[in-house]
Amino acid sequence: MTRIMRTMRRMDSGLPPGGYDPPFPAAVWVNTKAEDRVQGFRWLESSRTGLRARCAGSGADFVWPADALVRYCGISSAEFVAFSAHRDFADGEVLLQGILNLGLLVLATYEIPRRGGPGYFSREFFAMVFSHLAKPASVDGAPLLGRWRNADPAARGLVEITIEDDAGDPAVRALGSGEGGPVDWGPAKTGVFACLDEAGKASLSLLATWDFGFLESHLQLRLPAGTLASAGFNVFKDGSGRPSYVTREFFYRE
């Protein structure tokens, strides 16, 4: 037991101190499946007052008040990342476990029969709808500034990304992986976008573009939970017939 407790202490050492309870994001989540293929819920609406879900089969709405939800923060962040909810019915019970992952709500539903026998499990994905949310007018870009190193030392894409303040606008520069060492991609044409992150919190996203003549690279940059996440969309323009490709990498601040 002592060994297990020591392991758990190492795991939870990064948790925020005190009795912090992460707020539930205000958002509407729509099932990504086609309407006739939805197994569990068509949509969910989350807010500080609780959770409401529309059942695909009966069309009924299930409601969980805020005090009936368990909210979870990340192991090294005070940000909301997951929830669980439980509800009893006459013939059984339902357990929901939802986690935010790359902008999607991944919802696991366990239907547990009261009289025994096999239960039922479904796992579905929901996309956030922003139409009813106020879009942030301005966001502090300071958390993005700095020198970021690829978390994978053997990365074949980008080795390093530098984001600096250029008279109030972020300037992006990147080093790519090369056979003889890092290759300077030079400064990027950078677009700045205010957005709402997975938890409904105002944040900043950058779109950095390089045009190398034979190849055009568009790099999406976001900062979820203190890690710089990049998604690269690369298109060949040289008529070689090589397919366009996508890269996804993560960077830590030096």
Q: pLDDT digit of tens for each residue in the chain (254 aa)?
A: 444 444 434 444 555 555 556 666 778 889 998 878 887 888 998 887 888 888 887 888 888 888 888 877 665 555 667 888 888 888 888 889 988 877 788 999 888 888 877 788 888 999 887 544 444 556 677 888 999 999 988 888 899 999 998 887 889 999 988 888 888 999 998 887 766 565 556 667 888 999 999 988 999 998 877 788 898 998 888 888 888 888 889 999 98
Between the CA of residue 82 and those of 104, 194, 196, what are the distances in Å? 11, 23, 17
Q: Do 7 and 102 reside in the same domain of the chain?
A: yes
CB 173, CB 185: distance < 8 Å: yes
Domain that holds residue 83: 2-129
Q: Do 196 and 88 reside in the same domain of the chain?
A: no
Q: Do 6 and 109 reside in the same domain of the chain?
A: yes
DSSP 58: T
Last residue of a domain, one of 129, 151, 185: 129
Q: Which residues pair with 30 in a beta bridge?
A: 43, 127
The Cα 98–Cα 86 span in angstroms is: 12
Q: Do 156 and 228 reside in the same domain of the chain?
A: yes
Q: Do 197 and 176 reside in the same domain of the chain?
A: yes
Q: Do 125 and 156 reside in the same domain of the chain?
A: no
Nearest alpha carbon to residue 225 among 72, 110, 35, 60: 72
The Cα 117–Cα 235 span in angstroms is: 53
- Please give the helix or strand (H or E) that residue 48 lies within, else none: none
Between the CA of residue 3 and those of 7, 10, 11, 34, 130, what are the distances in Å? 6, 11, 13, 48, 46
Q: Is residue 135 part of a domain?
A: no
Q: Note the helical H segments in the chain.
A: 2-12
The CATH number of the domain where 80 resides is what? 2.40.128
Q: Do 86 and 147 reside in the same domain of the chain?
A: no
